[in-house]
Amino acid sequence: MSDRIVSIGLGEFSVSVDPETTLVAYGLGSCIGLTLYDPEVGAGGMAHVVLPERPSNSADDGGAKYADTAVDRLAAELERSGGKRGRMVVKMAGGAQLLALPLNGHHWDIGERNINAVRKSLARCGLVLATHDVGGAHGRTLRLHIHDGRVVVSTIGRGEKIL
C-alpha cells in the first residue's frame, strides 16, 4: 500500500477516509498533534494545535490554531465523514518545553499550557484521551495511518513508538 502523505501545518487540521492516506504533523515542539480515529468507519483526523486559547479580542475564528477551538472543529469534521464521538480513539503528542522564556519573573511553558488546554477541551467535547506522548524537552513528528488507525511518534535520537 502506497501512502499519500498529507502534511498538517501549524494551526491546520485535516480529516480523511482514504486508507492510502497518512496524516503527518512535523516538528511538534510546544505544539500538540491531536488525532481522532473512528475504527468502525476507518475515518481519522489530525489537528496541529499551536496555542492554548483564542484571545478574546481576536477576529480570527480559531480554526485548529487554538486548543479551545481545534478539538470541537476536528471532532465535528470527523462526524461529517461518518465518525461518532463515542467511538473516536483520541491520541496526542507534543507539548514540549524547548525554550525557557522568562517574562516578568514567570516562565511561560506553552507546551504544558497546550497539554492542559487540549485535555480540558477534550473533556468539554465528551472525548476521552486513550494515550499520549507529551512534555519533556524534545520535538516530535506525529503520523496517523488512516488504513488502520495506527499513530506513530518519531523523536530525534529516541526513534519511533506506536501510541
Active site residues: 31
Task: Tell me the one-letter amino acid at 90.
Answer: V
- Compute CA 25 distance to the chain's CA centroid, rounded to the nearest angstrom: 8
Question: CA nearest 75: which of 28, 124, 29, 6?
Answer: 124
Which phi and psi (to 5°) does residue 73 adopt? -65, -45
Write out 23-34 in H/E/C secondary structure: EEEEEECCCEEE
User: Between vectors from CA 60 to CA 79 and to CA 138, what angle results, nearest 5°?
Assistant: 75
